């Protein structure tokens, strides 16, 4: 039996399980919120346990979240959570660390340079370029409107 692409699309769509948008939103909200609460808890440990200022606690907090994300990705746990929670696991720091680590794990058999390095940075390149370009335009807007200059006077 041969189907046209349109017929196959209709056939597949008819057999696709129904998804509850509200349930998916709730799961994403809960998991994303829990990741943020975990980040806040880690920050509080640095502030109160290591006597850092809130500003000083920011970088080690991000480092710990990245490390936890990578460990959970390597153990296969992060992907199971992501499968259940969907977009909730795409919280910027942990989601980016997960995608970088996943790309590295997926292509490790191709070698460190051409496998891990090349494929891991395919993803990172677009994110870094977007970040740099967005920062440039935000900087231009700040410069044009003089936002943030008061602190330097």
| pLDDT tens per residue across span 94-107 | 988 888 888 788 87
Domain ranges of the chain: 20-145
End-to-end, the C-alpha distance of the chain in Å comes to 76
- How far apart, in Å, are the Cα atoms of 115 and each of 106, 110, 112, 119? 9, 4, 6, 6
| pLDDT tens per residue across span 26-78 | 999 999 999 999 999 999 999 999 999 999 999 999 999 999 999 999 999 99
Regarding pTM above 0.85, the answer is no
């Amino acid at each position: 039996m041969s189907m046209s692409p349109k017929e196959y699309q209709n056939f597949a769509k008819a057999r696709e399980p129904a998804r509850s948008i509200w349930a998916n939103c709730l799961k994403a909200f809960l998991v994303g919120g829990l990741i943020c609460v975990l980040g806040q808890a880690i920050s509080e440990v640095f502030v109160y346990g290591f006597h850092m200022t809130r500003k000083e606690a920011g970088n080690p907090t991000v480092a710990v979240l990245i490390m936890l994300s990578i460990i959970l990705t390597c153990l296969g746990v992060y992907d199971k959570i992501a499968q259940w929670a969907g977009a909730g696991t795409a919280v910027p720091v942990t989601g980016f660390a997960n995608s970088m680590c996943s790309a590295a794990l997926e292509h490790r058999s191709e070698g460190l340079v051409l496998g891990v390095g090349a494929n891991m940075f395919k993803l990172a390149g677009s994110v870094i370029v977007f970040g740099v370009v967005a920062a440039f335009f935000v900087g231009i807007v700040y410069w044009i409107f003089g936002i943030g200059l008061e602190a330097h006077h």
